[in-house]
């Protein structure tokens, strides 16, 4: 089922620092993972994805790491900017699930201070 | 990337009225769309999976008679909140699945803020 959090974890960083946002998942059958960024009052925006046959994937300023052994996912943002301030969600899909239903994690609030 | 739109972006209604929210995939066809609800400072909760030409699949605890979903075409799904009450006030977000030969990605709409007075 979905993950619901009443108090989202928060991460505060200074502009220019690197940020690491973590996510734990519970379904060992999940084989596709996505990180989304959600700004206030907007829908989630795709950042980067990774399949279970990989342990690392890099994008522009972002890197996703997957550790299937401990069922852990992380998003690394290099040289964090004020515009990166948002809520970040990880999501997982099991290919055995019909229609690609996403299960969202709790979310982390990232605040970048100038 | 692909674009998904929602209409309206916000709506205020009186208790007991019904509200329809539209979700459109603008540049791709989506056989599957999803409807989520999000309360402040919480994660997205999947309400239902909408499949073109067939009945929606609702998540446990979601009343299908209260949240009517219609996916009449490959680019449009609608969510109707019937007899809305203040506890239905929330941020409703849809997503559309773009699944082709080389892709399988969900794109999210901008959300609809529903306030029931």
Chain A contacts of B109, Cβ < 8 Å? 43
CB within 8 Å of chain A, chain B residues 25-64: 32, 34, 41-46, 49, 51, 57, 59-60
Backbone angles phi, psi at A99, to 5 degrees: 65, 20
> Is the pLDDT score of A6 beyond 60?
no
d(CA B87, CA B97): 29
Name the token pair of B12: 């205020």
In a mutational test of the B interface, the residue from A100, A103, A109 whose CB has the highest number of chain B CBs within 10 Å is A100
Q: Give percent of chain B above pLDDT 90.
A: 74
Chain B closest CA to A100's CA: distance in Å?
8
Q: How confident is the model at residue A12 (pLDDT cuts 50, 70, 90)?
A: very high
Q: Given this model, what pLDDT does residue A95 score?
A: 66
Backbone angles phi, psi at A98, to 5 degrees: -65, 140
Measuring CA to CA, which residue among B34, B111, B43 is closest to residue A87? B43
Which residues, in sequence order, are bridge partners of residue A80? none
How large is the average pLDDT for residues B59-86? 94
pLDDT tens-digit profile of B39-64?
988 899 999 999 888 889 999 999 99
Calculate the CA A61 to chain-centre distance.
Answer: 14
How large is the average pLDDT for residues A6-20? 90
d(CA B56, CA B46): 12
């Amino acid at each position: 089922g979905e993950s619901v959090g009443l108090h989202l974890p928060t991460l505060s960083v200074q502009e220019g620092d690197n940020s690491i946002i973590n996510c734990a998942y519970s379904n060992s059958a999940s084989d596709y993972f996505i990180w989304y960024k959600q700004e206030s009052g907007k829908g989630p925006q795709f950042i980067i994805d990774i399949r279970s046959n990989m342990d690392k994937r890099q994008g522009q300023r972002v890197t996703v790491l997957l550790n299937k052994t401990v069922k852990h996912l992380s998003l690394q943002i290099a040289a964090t900017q004020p515009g990166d301030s948002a809520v970040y969600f990880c999501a997982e899909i099991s290919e055995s699930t019909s229609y690609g239903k996403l299960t969202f994690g709790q979310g982390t609030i990232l605040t970048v201070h100038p | 990337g692909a674009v998904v739109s929602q209409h309206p972006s916000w709506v205020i209604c009186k208790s007991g009225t019904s509200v329809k929210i539209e979700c459109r995939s603008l540049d791709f066809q989506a056989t599957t769309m999803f409807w989520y609800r999000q309360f402040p400072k919480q994660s997205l909760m999947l309400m239902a999976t909408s499949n073109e030409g067939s009945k929606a699949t609702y998540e446990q605890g979601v009343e299908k008679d209260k949240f009517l979903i219609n996916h009449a075409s490959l680019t449009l799904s609608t969510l109707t909140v019937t007899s809305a009450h203040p506890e239905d006030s929330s941020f409703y977000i849809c997503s559309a699945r773009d699944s082709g030969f080389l892709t399988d990605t969900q794109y999210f709409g901008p959300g609809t803020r529903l306030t029931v007075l």
